[in-house]
Chains A and B, each alone.
Chain A
Amino acid sequence: MSDEHGARWLSQAIGLGGAGLEVQASRRLLTLAVGAVNAEEGSLLLWDEQIEELRFVATVGNDESEAVLKGQRVPLGKGITGLAAATRAVQVGAPTYADIQQTERLAGGPEAVVAAPLIAGDRLLGVMTAVSFRPGQRFGREEASAYGEFAAVMSVVLEQARRLDAVASLRSETDAAATGSAAVEREIVARLSRIIGDHPNVLGAVAQLFEAIEALVQGQSMRHRRAHPRGRP
C-alpha cells in the first residue's frame, strides 16, 4: 500500500494498533479462502512500500504459525509468495525433487502452496497464500482459479480500507486547519483589544493601519483580476 495511510493501516493490521473492521473482514475472507481450496493454513502479506518488501500481517489455521510469521518480511521474487508478487500472477508450488520422475525429494516444507497477488489497478497491495502439509496433496488449476477469485475480493477490501483511511485523515487535516484559523483570529482580536484598552489614543492610528492593509489587499486583488479575467486561469 502506498502513502502514510497505507502504512498506518499496515501497522494496525500487524497488531500495533488494534484490529479494525477491515482487518477482521480480511481475516474472515482469508479463512474462507483457505477452506475453499482445502488447505490447512493461509497467510496475508501486505506490500510495504517503505521497505519494498512483503510483510506477514495475518495467518489463519495455526496460531503458532501466526506468532512466528507476523511481521516477517518476504522480498519480491522470493519463493512462491514473492514470485506471485513479482509476476502479478497466481503461482502454485509443489516440493522440489532431484529427479524428473520426482521420486527423491530434496527439501522439507509444505506439500502444496498457492499464492495469489492482491492488485488494485496497477498497484501491488500484497499476496495471500494457502498451504497444505498433507502428504501427496497438490493444488491445481481449480485451486489457483478459486484463490485468484478470493484475492480479487480481498484486493477490493484492502483498497477500500485504504481509501476510507485516507478520507478520514484528510478530514482530520481540514478540521485542524479550520481550528488553527479560528485561533489566529481570536489572537488578533485579543491583541487589538489589549492595545486599544491600554492606549486608547492610538485608536485612530490603528484604524488608519487597517485601512492601509485593506487598500493593499484590494490593490493586489485588482492586479490579480486584471491579470486573470474571470473565467480564465
Chain B
Amino acid sequence: MTTAPLSQPDGDADAREDAAEAGASRGPSESTLVVVRAARGGDRAALESLYLEFGATVHGLLLARVSAAEADDLVQEVFVKVLHALPSLRDERAFPAWLAQLTRRMAVDHLRRRRPTEELDETTAGTVDPDGLEADEVLAVIRGLPEAHVEPLMLRLVEGLTGPEIAERTGLTHGSVRVNLHRGMKLLRERLTGETS
C-alpha cells in the first residue's frame, strides 16, 4: 500500500466548483427533464440516455455500500427498476434525488438478501492484479469512514464528479457536500497514512 502523504483537495478543483455552484443549484437541466419525461412514458431510448447520464452517480452510491463487482451488476438492476418505478415519480425535477434514494434502498435490500456469512471483502472479489487489490483496499478504507463522508468521496474519487454535481445528483446541499468532502479527504489521508492530526 502506498503511504505517500495525501494532499488536501486541490485549489483548482475548488475554484471550478465555485464557478459551477450557481448552475448546480438550479436542479436538472431542461434537456434532462425532457428525457425523464420520455422515460416516464416508457421510452427505452430515453431510459438509456438517463443511464448514460446518471449511471456514474448510481454506481458511486452503490460502491458506498457494496463491492465493486456487486455495484457493476446492481447498477443495471437499478435502471431496470427505474423504468418500472418512474411512472410513480410526481415531480420530474426531483428525479436525481429520487434516483439516489431508489439506489440506496436497492443497495440495502441487496445487503439484506446477502447470506449472513458473506462479508464485504474487496480483497476476495476475484481480483488478482496487485494494483487492483490496492484500489479495493482504498475503497474498503473509504467505506470505513463515517457515513456522511462515504458517498461524496466515492462520487468524487471513483466517478470523478465535482462537488456541485454530487449535490445536484444526491439531493444534498452543496455546503454539506463541500464540508463532507473536505473532512472526508482529511480522514482518508489519516487512515491511509496512519497519521492523526
Are A and B genuine complex partners?
A: no
Q: Which residues of A contact B (CB under 8 A)?
A: none
